[in-house]
Copies of this chain bind each other. A is one copy, B any other.
Amino acid sequence: MTDPLVIFTPSGKRGRFPVGTPVLTAARQLGVDLDSVCGGRGICSKCQITPSYGEFPKHGVTVADTALSDWNSVEQRYQDKRGLKSGRRLGCQATIQGDVVIDVPPESQVHKQVIRKAATARAITMDPATRLYFIEVAQPDMHTPTGDFERLKRALRDQWQIEDLRADLTILSKLQPTLRKGNWQVTVALHHDHHKGPARITEIWPGLHENGLYGLAIDLGSTTIAAHLCDLQTGEVIASSGLMNPQIRFGEDLMSRVSYAMMNPGGDREMTAAVRSALNDLATSLAQEAQIDPALLVEATFVCNPVMHHLLLGIDPVELGQAPFALATSDSLSLPASQLDLTALNPRAQIYVLPCIAGHVGADAAAVALSEEPNKSKDLALIVDVGTNAEILLGNETRVLACSSPTGPAFEGAQISSGQRAAPGAIERIEIDPITKDPRFRIIGVDMWSDDPAFAAAAAATGITGICGSGIIEAVAELRMAGLLDPSGLIGSAEQTGTPRCIPQGRTHAYVIWDGTAEGGPLITVTQGDIRAIQLAKSALYAGARLLMDEMGVDKVDRVVLAGAFGAHISAKHALVLGMIPDVPLDRVQSAGNAAGTGARIALCNIAARAEIEQTVHQITKIETAIEPRFQEHFVAANAIPHATDPFPELSQIVTLPQVSFNTKGQEPGRRRRR
């Protein structure tokens, strides 16, 4: 008689096994992804499966009611104590008695897939660096004396095939009481090295640990620090939070922080202490929000730009402020959280910092590459992560280029006369009627346009307070589309434009979006200075992209991906009118959300992604904008709106830009091009 046939779904893996083989054993031999923390002892319940009975013509089997063994005492005890979902069995206890079809539900898979939230979602496969192992450790024997740790190592080798193991003194000092408290059964959390180095014990608990494991994916930006607290077993994001980077008090942007370090002995250490303290606060508040013990935070991954990277690590960033912009280290870093004074986490939590690409292209850009995978793209993708600096990636599966471009903070609403951060009351969208030249707009926190009769009442709570980053981009683009702004970037006078909203301001003009002065509110305008700031920013962005296109030998790209929290809110049409990005069909402009943060999450949830991005960054060609003469040429040409020389054929199919010129003084606006 042949052995029974076992078919696993959804994998479709099948094989024949002797009567009496536990389902978990069959799954392991076939390489079916079926979880188990307790190693088949019937106590962790991670290996739950659902047998199917009846006729399966597709598989060519008939499954009898007796295909699996009856419930045994272990399974019954589990059922009585904790309960199993209807139809479920414990894979380690149920044994094969006849042909059977067995479904492995998603929650029983180790490598379950987590769907990312963003619209362009791709799944993250769970394969975290830190995992739980339940073991039974042999008791000490005076006749063959070995240490408790040596017997624990042997248990992990025999029961889980883990060969190379390390534990620090804090684990060794709690090992003996924990083993005895657990009656020689313990659960260990092991951190696996993605370069085949030894595994490390992060934590040890008596008996079966059932309170999970968690990690933080941290996007450490110059302005904000954003973190997700993720369940390392399910991949679920349990809590997300962000706070201001306290280093702002030492300098708004990167170079001012580098300057602070150069001018003030010990300044780098002040900034390092500030950011580490903020990270501890963030970890503590996230753990509170998630209602978990902070000691269960056993990992964190970091993405950040090079200056943040060095200041996080306690390295003076002074070399990053001057050519040749040498990083102290560019490779990824795996280190204990204690080296970063991250005391809010488990004392043995492990940190992974993604690799940097170059002195100006940091681990944040690497994270974008990990998330957006230009190196796997069939078409040519231009990925821009817009922030105070823009990280730009251009590539496809044959080659990827990267650079960073100093856009400055204008895109974030800073250095704009009425600019403000994206907060309730800020104008985030705007339209200007090309006939009446009057605007309508929306503010953050109110779900209607300003020409809605109910708007005034709805806006009363916050007031109309300023313009945020996406709002200023739309405003400038709308001014251009409405014929109030000429290609050189000059705002016309009331006479030239026929609207009293164009008011004189010194020797230039400003456009009034909202006059709240009668009610004690602000006068919200777009000034000539604002236009210049946006022109500088968008020219830098466009010039960076063009430089990569030159290197790639192309003059158009197949698609543009806007990443960064800000990128999610940019209108593609307005970005094209402004000439921020190269001309592409409107539907080929995609938003990737916080791609850097997603990259941090991927690295947190999937250990193989670490080796992958380390390899990818070595294959990326870096272009240093600061020393490339063509960057200046591209920058100057990109000053015009949308561009002085590059045609925008795709844009012109959807928008006709008025041919106006407001230059009456024979002055070239180009004289302001200096950066």
Contact = CB atoms under 8 A, between A and B. Distances in A.
A254 B314 CA distance: 43
Contacts of A329: 147-150, 172, 175
Contacts of A423: none
B148 A327 contact: yes
Interface in A371-405: none
B176 A140 contact: no
A435 interface: no
A358 interface: yes
A315 interface: yes
B331 A150 contact: yes
A659 B503 CA distance: 128
Contacts of A327: 145-148
B176 A331 contact: no
B315 A145 contact: no
A147 B331 CA distance: 7
Interface string A142-165: 111111111000000000000000
Interface in A315-338: 315-316, 318-319, 323-331, 335
Contacts of A340: 169
A323 to B, nearest CB: 7
B328 A176 contact: yes
Contacts of A145: 324-327, 330, 357-359, 622, 624
Contact of A315 (B173, B197, B319): B173
A515 B329 CA distance: 75
B142 A328 contact: no
B314 A149 contact: no
A147 B316 CA distance: 14
B142 A325 contact: yes
A168 interface: yes
Interface in A492-506: none
A169 B335 contact: yes
A147 B326 contact: yes
Given A142-B359, A627-B142, A176 B326 contact: yes
Interface string A437-469: 000000000000000000000000000000000
A60 B502 CA distance: 104
A142 B624 contact: yes
A400 to B, nearest CB: 15
Contact of A173 (B140, B313, B325): B313
B169 A324 contact: no
Given A147-B329, A168-B339, A335-B168, A324 B173 contact: no
Interface string A167-181: 011001101110000
Interface in A344-362: 356-359
Nearest to A152: B329
A139 B315 CA distance: 19
Give the size range of A's interface with the partner: 35 or more
A180 B331 CA distance: 20
A246 B140 CA distance: 31
A interface secondary structure, majority:
loop
A141 interface: yes
Contacts of A359: 140, 142, 145
A96 to B, nearest CB: 41
Nearest to A319: B176
A227 to B, nearest CB: 21
A386 to B, nearest CB: 22
Contacts of A328: 147-149, 172-173, 175-176
Contacts of A626: 142
A313 to B, nearest CB: 6
B330 A146 contact: yes
Nearest to A168: B339
A176 B324 contact: no
A628 to B, nearest CB: 9
Contacts of A319: 148, 176
Interface string A470-513: 00000000000000000000000000000000000000000000
A512 to B, nearest CB: 46
A627 B147 CA distance: 18
B335 A173 contact: no
A358 B330 CA distance: 46
Contacts of A148: 319, 326-329
A326 B168 CA distance: 18
A150 B324 CA distance: 15
Given A328-B148, A329-B147, A316 B169 contact: no
B356 A147 contact: yes
Contacts of A356: 147
Chain B CB within 10 Å, residue with most, of A146, A149, A316: A146
A330 B173 contact: no
Contacts of A143: 624
Interface in A578-616: none
Nearest to A359: B145
Contacts of A627: 142
A173 B147 CA distance: 38
A321 to B, nearest CB: 12
Contacts of A140: 324-326, 359
A498 B622 CA distance: 102
Given A149-B331, A176-B319, A328-B149, A313 B169 contact: yes
Contact of A339 (B149, B169, B318, B358): B169
Interface string A127-146: 00000000000011111111
A390 B348 CA distance: 38
A157 to B, nearest CB: 14
Interface in A170-207: 172-173, 175-177, 197-198
A161 B293 CA distance: 46
A319 to B, nearest CB: 5
Interface of A: 139-150, 168-169, 172-173, 175-177, 197-198, 313-316, 318-319, 323-331, 335, 339-340, 356-359, 622, 624, 626-627
Given A142-B323, A145-B622, A149-B331, 6 more contacts: A142-B359, A143-B624, A145-B624, A147-B327, A147-B331, A148-B327
The 9 closest A-B pairs by CB, nearest first: A147-B330, A145-B358, A140-B326, A149-B329, A147-B329, A147-B327, A142-B624, A140-B324, A142-B324
